[in-house]
């Protein structure tokens, strides 16, 4: 892949970068141990206390510029935060969307919109956690979405359905992608879609309904139904019809942030595996002495370290304003596979106890499996690399 400028001077940290942030995150996460997450799963509950603690510490506002009440730190700082959350055995799925959704508002919103929403998002007064893109019939083919937003004099009227919209019941705002021009009336299938920032507090019961969708991981995901929902025209972000490009603009950041969570998961699995393998004695020897236990753990560790280096490169390119699509996608692919292999070796190391909820292995095992499917499946990443990086014909 040819970059637009010389990147030889971009520095990639290989040590324990942002040590103060790492320590701060660990302190916030310490009270939220395995029993906390187990209780949430039993009740299908949202980790409000955990999210509040992260908000009060300022960690969820690191990417918001200082002029709007945030810290204005680079993406790498946000990646470090999510990595440490997962390395502590916690899960950032309840709040990570704010970090990458907010970028659409920051890059493409009007100054009035940014001043209206960003300070309140930074302080925690407003939660921006819902991202309405995926639909039941279109899946990963976003250009086929059918949710419509039709312009009237001073409103848009929204009709349609979204699925796998996590955290919608616990978010004040939702970033919505809808078609404003029918697909058969645009030259390119990526045109004619627009992004809106919807105040869900006003919309629920007035044309917007939320239905919980129970899944194997407790991400509080939902289906959303729009039935003649009237939203003000000034909820439009940027230009009408350019929404697909706006959403795509934030995908690299999303991939890197999720990859960071995978790196954190891999750390947790490896540390948990090693500790148990050294302590568990069978046939008068620690099971970690057996190559059948030791080698899978070591291999997953090596995979995770390699994925982390690609991730660090991707973050460095992103923060330098350089093209980073290749590295962002590879980081997501490699980190999700590394965390899954670490999860598998951890479960296998624990044997029957790996299935016992009190050990938290099965919970983390289920959580990290998600990342090979969403956001963006591993096969779509391979298709991207094959076509756009390696120059082979489009495969789908």
Q: Report the first-to-last Cα separation within the chain, whole angstroms.
A: 21
Q: Which of 10, 173, 32 is nearest to 90 (CA)?
A: 32
Q: Is the pLDDT of residue 1 over 70?
A: no
Three-class DSSP labels, the chain: CCCCCCCCCCCCCCCCCCHHHHHHHHHHHCCCCHHHHHHHHHHCCCCHHHHHHHHHCCHHHCCCCHHHCCCCCCHHHHHHHHHHHHHCCCCHHHCCHHHHHHHHHHHHCCHHHHHHHHHHHHHCCCCEEEEECCCCCCCCCHHHCCCEEEECCCEEEEEEEEECCCCHHHCCEEEEEEECCCHHHCCCCCCCEEEEEEEHHHHECCCEEEEECCCCCCCCCEEEEEEEEEEEHHHEECCCCEHHHHHHHCHHHHHHHHHHHHHHHHHHHHHHHHHHHHHCEECCEEHHHCHHHHHHHHHHHHHHHHHHHHHHHHHHHHHCCCCCHHHHHHHHHHHHHHHHHHHHHHHHHHHHHHHCHHHCHHHHHHHHHHHHCCCCCHHHHHHHHHHHHCCCCCCC
Residue with tokens 């298709």: 383
Q: Which of 306, 285, 371 is nearest to 294 (CA)?
A: 285
Q: Mean per-residue pLDDT for 104-126?
A: 96
Q: Is the pLDDT of residue 341 over 60?
A: yes
Q: Mean per-residue pLDDT for 305-315?
A: 98
Maximal CA-CA distance, the chain: 79
Q: How far apart are alpha carbons 109 and 115 in whole angstroms? A: 10
Residue with tokens 């120059």: 391
Q: Which CATH superfamily is domain 129-246 in?
A: Butyryl-CoA Dehydrogenase, subunit A, domain 2 (2.40.110.10)
225-269 confidence digits (pLDDT tens):
999 999 999 999 999 999 999 998 889 999 999 999 999 999 999
Q: Is 193 exposed, middle or buried (0-12, 13-18, 19+ CB in 10 A)?
A: buried
Which CATH class, in words, describes the domain spanning 19-127? mainly alpha
Q: Is the pLDDT of residue 148 over 70?
A: yes
Q: Is 112 exposed, middle or buried (0-12, 13-18, 19+ CB in 10 A)?
A: exposed
Percent of the chain with pLDDT over 70: 98
The pair of structure tokens assigned to 55 is 């908000």
* pLDDT range class, residue 102, cuts 50, 70, 90: confident
Residues with Cβ < 8 Å from 320, sequence gap 6 or more? 7, 10
* pLDDT range class, residue 6, cuts 50, 70, 90: low
Which CATH class, in words, describes the domain spanning 248-389? mainly alpha
* pLDDT range class, residue 137, cuts 50, 70, 90: very high
328 near 314, Cβ under 8 Å?
Answer: yes
Antiparallel, parallel or unpaired: β 128-132 and 173-179: parallel
* pLDDT range class, residue 5, cuts 50, 70, 90: low
Q: Which of 37, 206, 195, 221 is nearest to 129 (CA)?
A: 221
Q: Assess whether the region 19-127 and the region 248-389 belong to the same CATH fold.
A: no
Q: Is the pLDDT of residue 3 over 50?
A: no
313-331 confidence digits (pLDDT tens):
999 999 999 999 999 999 9
Q: Which tops the pLDDT comparison, 12 or 140?
A: 12
- The structural domains of the chain, with segments of one domain joined by +, span 19-127, 129-246, 248-389
Percent of the chain with pLDDT over 90: 94
Q: What is the pLDDT of residue 7?
A: 75
The pair of structure tokens assigned to 190 is 């990526």
Q: What is the pLDDT of residue 290?
A: 98
Q: How far apart are alpha carbons 87 and 207 in whole angstroms? A: 41
61-71 confidence digits (pLDDT tens):
999 999 999 99
Q: Mean per-residue pLDDT for 108-130?
A: 96
């Amino acid at each position: 892949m040819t970059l637009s400028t010389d990147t030889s001077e971009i520095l990639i940290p290989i040590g324990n970068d942002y040590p103060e942030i790492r320590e701060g995150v660990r302190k916030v996460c310490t009270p939220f141990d395995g029993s906390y997450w187990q209780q949430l799963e039993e009740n299908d509950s949202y980790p409000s206390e955990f999210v509040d603690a992260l908000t009060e510490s300022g960690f969820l506002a690191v990417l918001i510029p200082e002029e709007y009440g945030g810290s204005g730190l680079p993406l790498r700082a946000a990646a470090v935060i999510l990595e440490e959350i997962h390395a502590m055995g916690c899960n950032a799925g309840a709040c990570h969307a704010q970090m990458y959704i907010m970028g659409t508002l920051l890059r493409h919103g009007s100054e009035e919109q940014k001043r209206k929403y960003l300070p309140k998002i930074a302080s925690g007064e407003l939660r921006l956690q819902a991202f309405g893109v995926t639909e039941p019939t279109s899946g990963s083919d976003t250009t086929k979405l059918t949710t419509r937003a039709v312009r009237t004099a001073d409103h848009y009227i929204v009709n349609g359905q979204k699925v796998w919209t996590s955290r919608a019941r616990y978010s004040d705002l939702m970033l919505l992608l809808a078609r404003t021009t029918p697909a058969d009336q645009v030259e390119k299938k990526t045109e004619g879609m627009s992004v809106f920032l919807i105040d869900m507090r006003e919309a629920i019961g007035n044309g917007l309904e939320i239905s919980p969708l129970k899944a194997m991981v407790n991400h509080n995901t939902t289906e959303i139904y729009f039935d003649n929902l009237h939203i003000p025209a000034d909820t439009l972000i940027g230009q009408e019809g350019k929404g697909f490009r706006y959403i795509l603009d934030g995908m690299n950041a999303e991939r890197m942030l999720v990859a960071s969570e995978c790196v954190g998961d891999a750390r947790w699995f490896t540390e948990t595996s090693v500790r148990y393998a050294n302590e568990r004695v069978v046939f008068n020897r620690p099971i970690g002495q057996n190559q059948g236990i030791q080698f899978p753990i070591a291999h997953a560790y090596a995979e995770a370290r390699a994925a982390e280096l690609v991730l660090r490169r991707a973050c460095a390119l992103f923060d330098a304003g350089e093209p980073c699509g290749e590295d962002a996608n590879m980081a997501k692919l490699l980190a999700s596979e590394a965390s899954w292999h670490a999860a598998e070796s951890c479960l296998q190391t624990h044997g029957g106890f790996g299935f016992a909820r009190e050990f938290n292995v099965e919970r983390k095992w289920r959580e990290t499996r998600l990342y090979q499917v969403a956001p963006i499946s591993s096969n779509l990443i391979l298709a991207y690399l094959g076509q756009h990086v390696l120059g082979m014909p489009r495969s789908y």
